[in-house]
Amino acid sequence: MMKITGFRLIILILPLALFTMAFAEGDFSREFKIIRLPQGKSMTIDLKSNPATGYSWRLAAISDKGVLEFLKKEFFPAEEKLLGAGGVEKWSFKTLKSGKATVVFEYAREWEKDAPPAKKEEFSIFVK
Protein backbone atom coordinates (compact mmCIF):
# COMPACT_ATOMS: atom_id res chain seq x y z
CA MET A 1 0.00 0.00 0.00
CA MET A 2 1.32 3.41 -0.99
CA LYS A 3 1.60 6.18 1.57
CA ILE A 4 0.61 9.69 0.42
CA THR A 5 2.46 12.51 2.13
CA GLY A 6 0.98 15.97 2.68
CA PHE A 7 3.07 17.45 -0.13
CA ARG A 8 1.95 14.82 -2.65
CA LEU A 9 -1.66 15.30 -1.59
CA ILE A 10 -1.41 19.04 -2.25
CA ILE A 11 0.06 18.38 -5.70
CA LEU A 12 -2.87 16.06 -6.47
CA ILE A 13 -5.60 18.41 -5.18
CA LEU A 14 -4.22 21.82 -6.28
CA PRO A 15 -4.95 21.43 -10.05
CA LEU A 16 -8.52 20.38 -9.30
CA ALA A 17 -9.05 23.37 -6.99
CA LEU A 18 -7.60 25.80 -9.56
CA PHE A 19 -9.76 24.31 -12.33
CA THR A 20 -12.88 24.63 -10.16
CA MET A 21 -12.11 28.25 -9.27
CA ALA A 22 -11.43 29.16 -12.91
CA PHE A 23 -14.80 27.88 -14.09
CA ALA A 24 -16.97 28.64 -11.08
CA GLU A 25 -19.81 31.04 -11.66
CA GLY A 26 -20.56 33.91 -9.35
CA ASP A 27 -18.77 36.78 -7.71
CA PHE A 28 -16.76 35.62 -4.71
CA SER A 29 -15.88 39.19 -3.73
CA ARG A 30 -19.50 40.07 -3.02
CA GLU A 31 -20.27 41.31 0.45
CA PHE A 32 -23.31 40.06 2.28
CA LYS A 33 -25.32 43.01 3.54
CA ILE A 34 -27.65 41.91 6.30
CA ILE A 35 -29.74 44.25 8.44
CA ARG A 36 -31.80 43.12 11.44
CA LEU A 37 -34.51 45.40 12.83
CA PRO A 38 -37.57 45.22 15.03
CA GLN A 39 -41.02 45.72 13.58
CA GLY A 40 -42.25 49.33 13.21
CA LYS A 41 -38.79 50.93 12.96
CA SER A 42 -37.46 53.19 10.22
CA MET A 43 -34.07 52.64 8.61
CA THR A 44 -31.84 54.34 6.07
CA ILE A 45 -29.50 52.80 3.52
CA ASP A 46 -26.69 55.10 2.34
CA LEU A 47 -25.28 54.66 -1.16
CA LYS A 48 -22.44 56.73 -2.62
CA SER A 49 -23.53 58.49 -5.79
CA ASN A 50 -22.34 61.04 -8.31
CA PRO A 51 -25.19 62.52 -10.35
CA ALA A 52 -22.69 64.67 -12.32
CA THR A 53 -21.82 61.47 -14.22
CA GLY A 54 -25.47 60.87 -15.10
CA TYR A 55 -25.64 57.87 -12.79
CA SER A 56 -27.99 57.48 -9.85
CA TRP A 57 -29.38 54.63 -7.80
CA ARG A 58 -32.81 53.18 -8.55
CA LEU A 59 -34.81 50.82 -6.43
CA ALA A 60 -34.96 47.72 -8.62
CA ALA A 61 -36.91 45.48 -6.24
CA ILE A 62 -38.31 44.90 -2.77
CA SER A 63 -39.04 41.20 -2.47
CA ASP A 64 -41.81 41.56 0.13
CA LYS A 65 -43.59 44.93 0.38
CA GLY A 66 -45.62 43.57 3.28
CA VAL A 67 -42.43 43.43 5.38
CA LEU A 68 -40.71 46.61 4.20
CA GLU A 69 -42.12 49.88 2.88
CA PHE A 70 -40.14 52.44 0.87
CA LEU A 71 -40.55 55.95 2.32
CA LYS A 72 -38.25 58.38 0.48
CA LYS A 73 -34.93 59.01 -1.25
CA GLU A 74 -32.75 62.07 -0.62
CA PHE A 75 -29.40 63.20 -2.05
CA PHE A 76 -26.76 64.88 0.13
CA PRO A 77 -23.80 66.40 -1.74
CA ALA A 78 -20.26 65.89 -0.49
CA GLU A 79 -18.87 68.52 1.83
CA GLU A 80 -16.19 69.49 -0.68
CA LYS A 81 -17.46 72.15 -3.05
CA LEU A 82 -15.54 70.70 -6.00
CA LEU A 83 -17.15 70.66 -9.42
CA GLY A 84 -18.43 67.15 -10.16
CA ALA A 85 -18.04 65.93 -6.57
CA GLY A 86 -20.43 63.18 -5.61
CA GLY A 87 -22.40 62.61 -2.46
CA VAL A 88 -24.69 60.13 -0.76
CA GLU A 89 -28.19 58.97 -1.61
CA LYS A 90 -30.14 58.12 1.54
CA TRP A 91 -32.95 55.61 1.01
CA SER A 92 -35.49 55.43 3.87
CA PHE A 93 -37.69 52.43 4.63
CA LYS A 94 -40.05 51.34 7.39
CA THR A 95 -40.43 47.82 8.73
CA LEU A 96 -44.07 46.71 8.77
CA LYS A 97 -44.18 43.13 10.09
CA SER A 98 -41.94 40.19 10.95
CA GLY A 99 -40.28 38.47 8.02
CA LYS A 100 -37.53 38.91 5.45
CA ALA A 101 -37.31 41.30 2.52
CA THR A 102 -34.53 41.65 -0.01
CA VAL A 103 -33.88 45.12 -1.40
CA VAL A 104 -32.03 45.50 -4.71
CA PHE A 105 -30.56 48.78 -5.97
CA GLU A 106 -29.08 49.43 -9.42
CA TYR A 107 -26.68 52.25 -10.27
CA ALA A 108 -27.49 53.30 -13.82
CA ARG A 109 -28.26 56.15 -16.16
CA GLU A 110 -32.01 56.63 -16.47
CA TRP A 111 -31.94 57.20 -20.23
CA GLU A 112 -29.89 54.06 -20.99
CA LYS A 113 -32.83 51.65 -20.84
CA ASP A 114 -31.10 48.66 -22.49
CA ALA A 115 -27.71 49.01 -20.79
CA PRO A 116 -26.95 46.88 -17.75
CA PRO A 117 -26.41 48.76 -14.47
CA ALA A 118 -22.86 49.84 -13.64
CA LYS A 119 -23.30 48.53 -10.07
CA LYS A 120 -25.79 46.51 -8.11
CA GLU A 121 -26.31 46.40 -4.33
CA GLU A 122 -28.48 43.93 -2.47
CA PHE A 123 -29.53 43.98 1.18
CA SER A 124 -31.33 41.31 3.20
CA ILE A 125 -33.59 42.85 5.82
CA PHE A 126 -34.73 40.62 8.68
CA VAL A 127 -37.59 42.01 10.76
CA LYS A 128 -38.38 40.54 14.21
Domain ranges of the chain: 29-127
E-assigned strand segments in the chain: 34-37, 42-49, 55-62, 68-77, 87-95, 99-109, 119-127
Query: What is the reported pLDDT for 63?
Result: 96
Residue 73 CB coordination number (10 Å): 15
Query: What is the reported pLDDT for 75?
Result: 94
Band of the pLDDT at 65, cuts 50, 70, 90?
Answer: very high
- Residue range 113-123, pLDDT digits in tens: 899 999 999 99
Residues 79-84: contacts with CB under 8 Å, at least 24 apart: 83/52, 84/50, 84/52, 84/53
pLDDT(90) > 90: yes
Fold of 29-127: Immunoglobulin-like (2.60.40)
Q: What pTM, to 2 d.p., does this model score?
A: 0.72
